[in-house]
Chain A
């Protein structure tokens, strides 16, 4: 008699067996246990006017429906100069997709749709990228060679991305560790996907061709937090030039993760660094789970003996009530039942929070065989969707043994061969461990299958462009015009005594040079200015939308005014909200609006005795502290901009003694 799997229980059990823990509870020791290893590919758009290989404008974006024409392409794998075909290339070819590009005349020309060869590389983009290479301590190449990197998903109409290495072997200095950088490349950005349904995928070409750099770290980051720190550091470094784009999609991370015995898996296009820890944590444990399934499977059977069988089901023979199966009759779709030997307990095996191994198969069916979800049912799901009787019949037909699992798939006849192959291939991969693949991140911190991970085999020289020499004089000139290192900036902030919670905002918004300029020119205390930006300004910028004329120069003007007027810096906080909304207003008028009057310390201290008397009348306690607070409160507003409040307080405290 077959013992039935209870999917939920099995999910919980296997989750415990592999030792999955919530990330918030995880310690470095947990990551050492599973051999967490990761690296980053940080993508950053450059703030140029034009695209990288044509003269279309950058940073102009269209809505999905806003297009002038559509172009259809199919992608076929081409061979690398070393003679191999790339794995992804072949997979993408299998899927036989119609790729449809939506073109808007404002943002795309014939270059984007591959009807014109590339124009000369945008020198503005090259220069920004080289500056960032130098900041990243990379060894800059002597000659830039444009290379073609194959992408057959259609995200680039040529079927390849034009990209070039600018530097190799650099490093960044994190708080407790130096992290090596493998390389930095300049490349053209890809299309934005609109939709992907069945055998058709739509893209828009507005972002296509925008200049982008990619900084690749060595796989040396051993905890999710370290990974995030590196991501932040590189983002800050890029932004420190003031020459890169910010905002939605301007910076994106590909996160490479593996666990001990696992494989490099790339989580693509993570838009927010704060998502990195959860995603990488779950990915490492997903691999750990797959290796657990592998161990169990190998205890049961050898790969050579493992043999999958499948058969077509006649929908007239069974009493299917599950809608997708019922519809197969009408749509003339095929229904295939597959028996997977020795897989019992694996289809419902935990892989990620709320995902089991069966999901890995289903996701591949969608991507590789182009069959939309729901695209399968299986023997280890909570509600089987077909009757026990039908299921028993199917098992008998398949000669299923007690330890086997069954999957039922359906779809158009022409897709079923690929679909069966996909199911079998994914199950067979368990014998070898974790497949190399790229995965798409979901908002809940888990991932789904995206594509097979491409290898180095997909690189070709670009025969449409010439190498670009980089002279020593040029590189030296660029080297003289660089901002300081992020690590130096962090050191300075720390030396000045700025609280750490202010760093992120200052570095991410590249305010550091503003602070420096203010302190250098007007001799203010850097700690005070840094806190003004890291707390006060951050607060207002996070809550309100600034007037379009507002910018950092206005803030420098504010401090200049304070300096020249001989005001105290503590008035900056009160002028800021006015400046933020009315950046063109005269500073003197702002003072008037604040009812500011120039007063000396003596003038301000004069009413203290009178106020002390007054407090006695209204007092509730004899506590001197409270008396001082009350008096301070009375004088506070007049003191702002005139004196250090602490000095006034000292006088009050003395008088109350």
Chain B
């Protein structure tokens, strides 16, 4: 049965029922604050039960306090139908075949007027209806693998995606796009880098920082960039494709293991840490920045390694950390711990015994740095040496998130201490690098004249 009172509850729901007025009903309301006319809209579920939402003739929404209502009368009914114009995606001879996997998230979303929130949803037809330019780039097919927000992505989803990618490559696709929420985009990118190896075609993860229901959304341009990278680019790796600058200018292709979301809301939030991005991408094509990368191939010899152990965690170290935290993790059955340590990879003395106990119980503990840039250097201070002696293994310049995912993936395959260490220490695609280039760490500060000059003239 149709819900006549979408989102209304408690007193507000009673009021609608009392006056026999439905959602989408055109209604005349007499209140102690005067008279109002409009269409009753659904109410966001988390809003209170003291108001009714009305769309007035001029298109605006207003709320009416139910305690002021003296009289209400439905004078008509017109249900709105929110639908992106759906057109069949055209096929163009000679264009690359690209598959888009939908996972949910902002890039593939629209407004839900019941909750007032953005919900994941996007059919291929809708996609074409919104970004028709895609048809000039590739022949696109889409598949909704699942519809979850970025923060709800997890091992299950990584595994399904890896398997789905393998199948598509088998089917002879020229490139794969994965539309994904941005919050954990870099986790998924790392996971797929480990799970899908020896790629013959690009796998491009893309998201957007502004929902596609907004005129200035970065979704359309990110999608176009990702279609270029997936369909035409020569870099056959797992990559993240997002805005380079905040302006609508060009995108970056980031290596899946070195990328991180660095701002809660900026469009240019994704950055490659400790290295340069792989490439820039515009609507005209991909321009490689890095000289070495995995080139596109004609074969279909991809390796799918879909393993994951869920009992792995990241421990973000802070001063005065108590050892009971580590004991608790061990007692809860955690098999692997990635520590994001201070400085060169340190934690305080009081937790040493707990770490020791954990290693003795077979827990795999690795060290990364919470500075994000730079390497662990555990030989420099005694503290580092002590930690290593206890069995904590440093992971060089592996990002904590990339390390967390890798440890889960490694423990999904083996529990043997040495094998795990070998897997962790052998880079699959630059999760650790031997060198940090001089331009791998660029965090300039405003206010300095030369930086201001750069920002004014070049940083759009």
Contacts and interface: CB of A to CB of B under 8 A. Distances in A.
Interface centre among B60, B116, B247, by most chain A C-beta atoms within 10 angstroms, is: B60
Contact of B213 (A117, A149, A183, A460): A460
Contacts of B221: 74
Interface centre among B34, B216, B249, B267, by most chain A C-beta atoms within 10 angstroms, is: B216
Contacts of A457: 59
Interface stretch (A172-180, A404-412, A462-470): A462-470
Contact of B36 (A69, A81, A139): A139
Interface in A135-150: 138-145, 147-150
A142 B113 contact: no
A165 B54 CA distance: 11
A82 B82 contact: yes
Interface stretch (A151-159, A272-280, A541-549): A151-159
A144 B62 CA distance: 6
A461 B113 contact: yes
A463 B51 CA distance: 17
Nearest to B47: A467
A114 interface: yes
Interface size class of B (residues with CB under 8 A): 35 or more
Interface string A103-143: 00100001001111100000000000000000000111111
Contacts of A443: none
Interface in A70-84: 70-83
B366 to A, nearest CB: 35
A144 B263 CA distance: 30
A163 B117 CA distance: 18
Contacts of A466: 47
Interface in B116-142: 116-118, 130
Interface in B354-399: none
B65 interface: yes
A216 B60 CA distance: 13
A182 interface: yes
A428 to B, nearest CB: 24
A70 B266 contact: no
A163 B60 CA distance: 9
Interface in B43-63: 47-48, 50-51, 53, 56-63
A458 interface: yes
A183 B37 CA distance: 12
B33 interface: yes
A73 B80 contact: no
Contact of A463 (B58, B116, B246, B263): B116
B248 A68 contact: no
Interface centre among B36, B67, B209, by most chain A C-beta atoms within 10 angstroms, is: B36
Interface stretch (B145-153, B155-163, B284-292, B452-460): B452-460
A140 B267 CA distance: 38
Contact of B215 (A160, A185, A456): A160
B217 A139 contact: no
B212 to A, nearest CB: 8
Contacts of B57: 456
A134 to B, nearest CB: 10
Interface size class of A (residues with CB under 8 A): 35 or more
A74 B67 CA distance: 45
A138 B31 CA distance: 13
Contacts of A113: 246
A608 interface: no
Given A71-B247, A139-B35, A117 B214 contact: no
A376 interface: no
Given A115-B265, A463-B111, A164 B35 contact: no
B216 A145 contact: no
A58 interface: no
Interface string A20-62: 0000000000000000000000000000000000000000000
Contacts of B66: 142
A114 B216 contact: yes
Contacts of B68: 142, 472
Given A157-B216, A160-B214, A110 B266 contact: yes
B456 A72 contact: no
Given A83-B82, A461-B113, A169 B215 contact: no
Nearest to A145: B61
A159 B82 contact: no
A76 B213 CA distance: 9
B227 interface: no
A459 interface: yes
A459 B80 contact: no
A83 B33 contact: no
Contacts of A160: 214-215
Contacts of A453: none
A97 B216 CA distance: 12
Interface centre among A69, A185, A216, by most chain B C-beta atoms within 10 angstroms, is: A69
Interface string B8-38: 0000000000000000000000011111100
A76 B215 contact: yes
Interface centre among B53, B60, B215, B217, by most chain A C-beta atoms within 10 angstroms, is: B215
Contacts of B31: 139, 142
A418 to B, nearest CB: 16
A89 interface: yes
Nearest to B110: A79
A460 B33 contact: no
Contacts of B117: 463
A140 B33 contact: yes
B81 A143 contact: no
B47 A152 contact: no
Contacts of A182: 58
B83 interface: yes
Contacts of B60: 145, 147, 163-165, 183, 185, 459
A142 B47 contact: no
Nearest to A68: B456
A110 B246 CA distance: 10
Nearest to B263: A115
Interface in B414-460: 446, 452, 455-456, 459-460
B210 interface: yes
A615 interface: no
A322 to B, nearest CB: 36
A442 to B, nearest CB: 28
B215 A89 contact: yes
A475 interface: yes
A142 B67 CA distance: 9
Given A70-B456, A83-B80, A165-B60, A461 B116 contact: yes
Given A75-B215, A81-B82, A143 B51 contact: yes
B456 A115 contact: no
Contacts of A117: 265
Given A81-B80, A145-B61, A158 B214 contact: yes
B111 A143 contact: no
Contacts of B62: 141-145, 165, 168
Contacts of A116: 265-266
Contact of A456 (B59, B63, B266, B446): B59
27 contacts: A68-B455, A70-B460, A79-B82, A80-B59, A81-B111, A82-B81, A82-B82, A83-B81, A115-B263, A115-B266, A139-B34, A139-B36, A142-B51, A142-B62, A142-B68, A143-B62, A147-B59, A147-B61, A148-B214, A165-B62, A169-B35, A456-B57, A459-B59, A459-B60, A460-B213, A463-B111, A463-B117
Given A69-B456, A72-B247, A458-B59, 6 more contacts: A115-B209, A142-B33, A142-B62, A160-B214, A463-B117, A470-B65
In the A-B complex, the 7 residue pairs with the smallest Cβ-Cβ separation, listed nearest first, are A143-B63, A159-B215, A139-B34, A142-B65, A456-B59, A459-B59, A72-B247
Interface of B: 31-36, 47-48, 50-51, 53, 56-68, 80-84, 111, 113, 116-118, 130, 209-217, 220-221, 246-249, 263, 265-267, 446, 452, 455-456, 459-460
